[in-house]
């Protein structure tokens, strides 16, 4: 048995060749995100989509880390292959209790500082929020700087749009300190462009942070608009701003209900590592 992480084209092609000429070897495909979803060039995307499809079909088992990826993989491969595609969620096992210390108008972002996290949309959205509310908002950004050039671009954007004073850049925090940020934040602002099963989103929801995110990839699987968070039109900073305003115009009871909805959602998807391991074991020993 060969366990293979779907990522680079070279590895994908090599694995396909091995599966064709060594049929006795069973290979397991681990899918975090399908490669074609990360391509922008139409020709490159079409070729990668075809390779992704072959990989899923030729695998003995395909294991997805997110619900959206499972649905997409099943759509690519066809219903005949559904039985060998399974979702195994490796989501946070450390729920964060809401201890009632949340600060009003405190927004939080957690994630690497890189283009795919959409921080430029967050900054533009802040600049579009109604002035009376914007003066009260404070957004804390926590995460590694994976792309210094992008960070510099975002800082310049904040300066040019007049929201520098609304943003606090913290950088990486160990989990204990990060937990305090989750506890204090009222809203988890998450304008990511693409996600499989975002652990930061679920950690925030477990702490009663109401998420506001774009309606792309995994987010509609986790966020039910108006129930446990708010969804903005994908890549639309103006609508992201409208959703921020909408949350702060809700009454206390509606905010409380959404916080409780977020906590309940996180609890449904939380797993211990022992539970994750057992799901892998059961799927790998099962007969198709």
Residues 22 and 134 in one domain: no
In a domain, 141, yes or no: yes
Asked if 134 and 240 sit in the same domain, the reply is yes
| pLDDT value of position 6 | 55
In a domain, 77, yes or no: yes
Please check whether residues 138 and 248 belong to one and the same domain.
Answer: yes
Please report the pLDDT score of residue 126 as a whole number.
98
Reported pTM: 0.89
State the pLDDT at residue 47.
87
Closest of 103, 20, 32 to residue 57, by C-alpha: 20
Q: Where are the alpha helices (DSSP H) in the chain?
A: 9-21, 42-58, 67-77, 119-128, 131-134, 148-161, 175-184, 199-206, 219-222, 237-248, 252-269, 273-285
Indicate which CATH number applies to the domain containing 136: 3.40.50.2000
Q: Based on the fold, state whether residues 56 and 143 are members of the same structural domain.
A: no
Phi/psi of residue 116, nearest 5 degrees: -65, -15
So what's the pLDDT on residue 264? 95
Note down the domain range covering 82. Answer: 2-90+271-285
Judgement on whether residues 43 and 157 belong to the same structural domain of the protein: no
Q: Which residues in the chain land under pLDDT 50?
A: none
10 with 52, same domain? yes
| Residue 142 DSSP SS3 | strand
Specify whether 142 is located in the same domain as 250: yes
The span from the first CA to the last CA of the chain, in angstroms, equals 15
- Tell whether 159 and 181 lie within a shared domain: yes
Residues in contact with 84: Cβ distance below 8 Å, sequence separation at least 6, in sequence order: 59, 60, 61, 62, 288
* Residue 79 DSSP one-character state: G
Tokens standing for residue 180: 């305090």
Task: Report helix, strand or coil for 109.
Answer: strand
> What is the structure's pLDDT at 231?
98
Q: What is the pLDDT of residues 73-90, one digit of tens each?
A: 999 999 999 999 999 987
Residue 99 lies in a domain: no
CB burial readout 130-144, b (16+ within 10 A) else e: eeeebeebebbbbbe
> What is the model's pLDDT at position 44?
86
Structure tokens at 107: 């927004």
Q: Assess if residue 97 is contained within a domain.
A: no
Assigned domain for 175 exists = yes
**Is the same domain home to 251 and 276?**
no
- Domains held by the chain: number: 2
Output the six-digit token pair for 50: 């075809």
What pLDDT shows up at residue 11? 66
Rounded to the nearest 5 degrees, what angle is found at the Cα of 118, between the Cα atoms of 244 and 94? 80
Verify that 147 and 34 share a domain, yes or no: no
210 and 113 fall within a common domain: yes
Whether residue 191 is found in the same domain as residue 63: no
């Amino acid at each position: 048995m060969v366990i293979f992480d779907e990522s680079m084209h070279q590895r994908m092609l090599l694995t396909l060749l091995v599966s064709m000429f060594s049929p006795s070897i069973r290979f397991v495909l681990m899918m975090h995100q399908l490669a074609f979803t990360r391509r922008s060039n139409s020709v490159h995307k079409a070729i990668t989509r075809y390779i992704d499809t072959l990989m899923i079909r030729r695998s003995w088992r395909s294991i997805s880390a997110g619900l959206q990826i499972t649905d997409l993989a099943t759509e690519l491969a066809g219903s005949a292959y559904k039985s060998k595609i399974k979702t195994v969620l490796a989501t946070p096992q450390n729920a964060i209790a809401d201890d009632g210390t949340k600060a009003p108008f405190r927004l939080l972002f957690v994630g690497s500082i890189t283009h795919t996290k959409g921080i430029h949309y967050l900054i533009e959205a802040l600049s579009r929020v109604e002035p009376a509310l914007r003066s009260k908002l404070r957004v804390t950004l926590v995460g590694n700087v994976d792309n210094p050039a992008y960070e510099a671009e975002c800082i310049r954007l904040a300066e040019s749009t007049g929201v520098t004073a609304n943003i606090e850049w913290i950088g990486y925090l160990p989990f204990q300190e990060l937990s305090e940020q989750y506890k204090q934040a009222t809203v988890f602002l998450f304008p990511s462009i693409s996600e499989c099963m975002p652990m930061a989103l679920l950690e925030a929801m477990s702490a009663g942070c109401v998420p506001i995110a774009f309606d792309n990839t995994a987010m509609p699987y986790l966020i039910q608009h108006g129930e446990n968070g708010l969804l903005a039109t994908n890549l639309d900073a103006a609508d992201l701003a409208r959703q921020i305003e909408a949350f702060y115009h809700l009454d206390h009871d509606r905010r409380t209900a959404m916080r409780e909805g977020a906590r309940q959602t996180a609890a449904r998807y939380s797993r211990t590592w022992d539970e994750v391991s057992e799901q892998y074991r059961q799927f790998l020993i099962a007969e198709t």
